Amino acid sequence: MYSAGDVRVEQRADPTIIEPTDAIVRLVATCICGSDLWPYRGLEPADHQVMGHEYVGIIEEIGADVKNIKVGDFVVGSFVISDNTCEICRSGYQSKCVNAAFVSVAIGTQSDKARIPYADGTLVPTPGQPDEDLIPSLLAASDVLGTGWFAAVAAEAGPGKTVAVVGDGAVGLMAVLAAKQLGADRIIAMSRHPDRQQLALFYGATDIVVERGDEGVAKIKELTNGLGAHSVIEAVGTQESTMQAIRATRPGGHMGFVGVSHDVAIPGPELFFSEIHLLGGPAPVRRFLPDLIELIWDRKIDPGRVFDLTLPLEKAAAGYAAMDERRATKVLLRL
Ligand SMILES: [Zn+2]
């Protein structure tokens, strides 16, 4: 991304092994994230920035210390590099690994090849070479599915719970899928886009709420005997969506927030008196990858439907424009 709104695909030098824990992945598919739209729209700086942090592909080369994956393996990687051995990783928070690095900043996987550091800790091989139709779903696991899943876990979605999801982008839709898989009784998707409402219903939403802000909160309370939802997922990251999520959570309830926060300020007294559990941040996708790959491999979930436009990598700029103009929810880029 040369600057806001200016995405170009250009030839760069092939990556090579630098550290013995590196692997070189030949990408099979990558995609554009909702978070890539922040710099695209000029709301985050962009100056000749490599782009992309979601990826699946085939191992082309490994460093001398890589033990768990071999050349030829098909792998899914997290959008954060992690060693998966430090204390933070072992506690399940690989996105805050002591050796963490964001793939978007350090590597950029909207490309045909990528050098992945800490390959053993970051990449998970699939049981074999996937069927073509599984590739979008495996790619979704790299970020949006893993992030939506973490949000649902953080919000303690499960049996007996009413879950409300703020945000109908890819992550919000994946959170609906996760809440359903985790056994939630009722899943309220907050969306005003008919096509996304349909996808939310496909993934397990039981109710759709079109109102936003305080009106949206009032609607959630109306649907929950005036109490608010047990579990609320925030998947946008704005001031309005964050306050909507906090206010829609019942006392003692849990809010999982995974929308990248932009200019959000929570008033202290409101936070204090809300009496809710809060957990969020960049999702530790690596924690969930083995289980998510198994669910996809066994065709128990179909997260790949979240991609509604596929383009060759060379057409990446058109993909950004389509997402920016909301002509697409999520764009898959094929190599
Ligand atoms: Zn670690």
Q: What is the pLDDT of residues 290-319, one digit of tens each?
A: 999 999 999 999 999 999 999 999 999 999
The pTM of the full predicted model, rounded to 2 decimals, is: 0.96
Cα(239) to centroid(ligand 1), Å = 31
- What is the pLDDT at residue 76? 98
Instruction: Kindly report the number of other CB atoms within 10 A of residue 252's CB atom.
Output: 11
Cα(74) to centroid(ligand 1), Å = 23
Cα(85) to centroid(ligand 1), Å = 5
pLDDT exceeds cutoff 90 at 106: no
CA 209 to chain centre: 22
Residue-by-residue DSSP string for 144-208: HHHHHHHHHHHTT--TT-EEEEE--SHHHHHHHHHHHHTT-SEEEEE---HHHHHHHHHHT-SEE
| Confidence band, pLDDT 50/70/90 cuts, at residue 226 | very high
Coil, strand or helix at 14: coil
Cα(146) to centroid(ligand 1), Å = 18
Cα(318) to centroid(ligand 1), Å = 36
Coil, strand or helix at 52: coil
Q: What is the pLDDT of residues 45-82, one digit of tens each?
A: 999 999 999 999 999 999 999 999 999 999 999 999 99
Q: Give the residue range(s) of CATH 3.40.50.720 domains in the chain.
A: 147-280
Q: Give the residue range(s) of CATH 3.90.180.10 domains in the chain.
A: 23-143+284-334
Cα(103) to centroid(ligand 1), Å = 15
CB 150 within 8 A of CB 224: no
CB 171 within 8 A of CB 235: yes
Cα(106) to centroid(ligand 1), Å = 17
Mean pLDDT across the chain, nearest whole number?
97
- Kind of pairing, strands 207-209 and 113-116? unpaired
Say which residues have a Cβ less than 8 Å from residue 122's Cβ, sequence separation at least 6: 77, 78, 80, 81, 82, 84, 116, 286
Q: What are the φ/ψ torsions at residue 171 (nearest 5 degrees)? A: -65, -45
- Kind of pairing, strands 309-312 and 331-334? parallel
Instruction: Kindly report the number of other CB atoms within 10 A of residue 44's CB atom.
Output: 16
Cα(91) to centroid(ligand 1), Å = 9
Whole-angstrom Cα distance, residue 209 to residue 333? Answer: 32
Strand partners, 81: 101
| Confidence band, pLDDT 50/70/90 cuts, at residue 105 | confident
How far CA 4 is from CA of 39, 42, 46, in Å, comes to 6, 5, 6
Cα(282) to centroid(ligand 1), Å = 14
Cα(285) to centroid(ligand 1), Å = 13
Whole-angstrom Cα distance, residue 330 to residue 32? Answer: 7
- Which CATH homologous superfamily contains domain 147-280? NAD(P)-binding Rossmann-like Domain (3.40.50.720)
Say which residues have a Cβ less than 8 Å from residue 125's Cβ, sequence separation at least 6: 68, 69, 73, 74, 75
**Type of residue at 11:** Q
Cα(325) to centroid(ligand 1), Å = 38
pLDDT exceeds cutoff 90 at 223: yes
- Which CATH homologous superfamily contains domain 23-143+284-334? Medium-chain alcohol dehydrogenases, catalytic domain (3.90.180.10)
Cα(122) to centroid(ligand 1), Å = 10
Cα(88) to centroid(ligand 1), Å = 6
